[in-house]
Amino acid sequence: MSIQLICLTLSGGIPIFTRKKGEGENLSFSTIGSLNGVHMFCKSQGQNLRSTSWEDGLLVWEEFQDTFLIVGFARGINEKVLRKLISSTYAAMVFTVGESELKTFNSVERLKRELQPSWNLIDHLIEAAETELISFTDCILCPQNGMILEKLAEFCEEFGSAYACLMIRQRIAAATEGWWDLNVGDRQLLSILIATSNSLQKDTAVFLPHKSPTIAYRLVSIPILQNINLCLVCGAEPPYREIEAQTHQVWRTELKTLELAEQCFPRNFPNSLELDSGILGILLINRAMGKYVISRNIQQSSTGKRNISGTHRLDILRTFFHQAVDMIEEYLGNLATHTESYWCSDYHKCHALIQEENLICVLYVAAIPTHTMRLITHKTLSAILTTKDTCW
């Protein structure tokens, strides 16, 4: 897989940035100019050139705010994923400098310098384009989630902010209603900024592309324990030191509880949840809230013609979702009429089940009878949803 994104100004076709992943040479300046010229020619003729493809490649054009043109060039991913990546790339630009600056900039060179903090965000988005679920927020389910949520409510009441979450190993363990009410794209950029920053303690001005593209908020991230951070989105007040002091005061009596919660990693589900011996991995998605939990069953080893490593199990689950579930919605419409999907191979089997807002994809050993998968999937989803303390 290879991806290259080029951002140009619509007035003059001046390159703002180029970001790339994968093999192959960068597109030359003359090629970039030609791509821009083709798009502008079609536009002058009243036509909107959006994409073109050939045997092993795909080109997509997307305009933003009548100011920027982002061209995506890729091999190995479909147009839906590439368009989502391009939209997220522009959102990362807004996230960094704000929409007003992008609409009214006077100096291209100055804009390039101001956008530099967004490079890491965009690189992460490119890296995750095919292997991650970029339309959903990564979570961890542990028996302590209920207690964590109560403490978050106490903490937010102290500062008058509706937006807070507690992250364990860069996955959300619990978050306030306000956090979940944020657009999933805004949540994604907040999580990426926390994950890609070199500093554990952060107090960063951000523009939320969907909620507040022109007025900056503060993203405050405070480490409570190693691999555990409290994240707060708030206004200019209070100062960082006051937030830090209150954070440690609220959580100092719950450190042991947080240590126990972290022990759910890398399974990401409570250890009390008993999984069938034929299950190799699970992907659970709440489509209404835009969040997911992905897990490999570390108690189960794959058997048969080929051993499937833990990392490969997660890759199979993501691919199964993208190709056998997500694509159904794109081509067939309402998923409510297409509630199950199966994959069977010599090495493994997959089954997906949709119940209301929840979607579960389960990876099984190849030896399991196909008709048995449906029963186990139903039983597993029911067991997860009836576990009260996990706050799913």
pLDDT at 44: 81
The answer on pLDDT for 254 being more than 90 is yes
pLDDT at 306: 54
The answer on pLDDT for 313 being more than 60 is yes
The answer on pLDDT for 243 being more than 80 is yes
Rounded CA-CA distance 54/48 in Å is 19
Single out the residue of 127, 68, 141 nearest to residue 292, CA to CA: 141
Rounded CA-CA distance 295/141 in Å is 10
> Confidence band (pLDDT; 50, 70, 90) for 64?
very high
> Confidence band (pLDDT; 50, 70, 90) for 307?
low
What DSSP assignment string belongs to 110-134?
Answer: HHHHHHTTHHHHHHHHHHTTTTS-T
Lowest mean pLDDT among 90-99, 179-188, 226-235, 334-343: 334-343
The answer on pLDDT for 185 being more than 90 is yes
Average pLDDT over residues 119-126: 93
pLDDT at 49: 82
Chain-wide mean pLDDT for the chain?
88
> Quick one: residue 375, left, alpha or beta (phi over 0 = left, psi -120 to 50 = alpha)?
alpha
Quote the pTM value. Answer: 0.88
The answer on pLDDT for 292 being more than 90 is yes
Residues 6 or more apart whose CB falls under 8 angstroms from that of 160 comprise none
Q: Could you tell me where the DSSP H helices lie in the chain? A: 29-44, 79-97, 99-104, 108-115, 118-127, 145-159, 177-181, 184-196, 240-251, 255-262, 310-320, 327-332, 370-385
Single out the residue of 205, 165, 208, 148 nearest to residue 184, CA to CA: 208
